[in-house]
Structure 1
């Protein structure tokens, strides 16, 4: 299983995630602003969106919303790869 090791949230509702294999992935998360429900609605606010962290190799928010590393790879843009 591929694991995330770090994440940074940006003001444009993108996240940059570093994976354990050295890849850096950027994912546009603006789609969450159109989703509804108690897990995702707090993330419509930038202050809440920026509370993202990595837990057990998965990008997670305090609300319980998470993004699987495989989704990051499939849907994000690779920024860099370590040699």
Structure 2
């Protein structure tokens, strides 16, 4: 089961994510905020957006929004390709 083990705010609604398998990805919060919903409204304030935290390997906010680490992994990690010689 993949988990987020570290998250750092990069500015401009971007969060750098480190996953339990060592892979890295960047969450584009602006893309996330293109969607509508009551849990997303507070995140439109960049100061509130920065209040994320990790809980059991998921990315969360104080209002109860929780983003699945597996989904974030699929959306943010670029698969590595093996070089052929």
Aligned counterpart, 2:46: 46
The alignment's TM-score, normalised by the length of structure 2, stands at: 0.78
* Alignment root-mean-square deviation, CA: 1.6
Unaligned runs of 5+ in 2: 79-85
Q: Which moved more, 1:35-44 or 1:50-59?
A: 35-44
Aligned counterpart, 1:29: 29
- The runs of at least 4 consecutive aligned structure 1 residues that moved more than 2 Å come to 31-38
- How many residues align? The count is 78
Q: Which of the two has higher C-alpha Rg?
A: 2
Aligned counterpart, 2:18: 18
Unaligned runs of 5+ in 1: 79-83
The alignment's TM-score, normalised by the length of structure 1, stands at: 0.80
Of the two structures, which has the highest relative contact order with CA contacts closer than 8 Å and spacing of 6 or more? Answer: 1
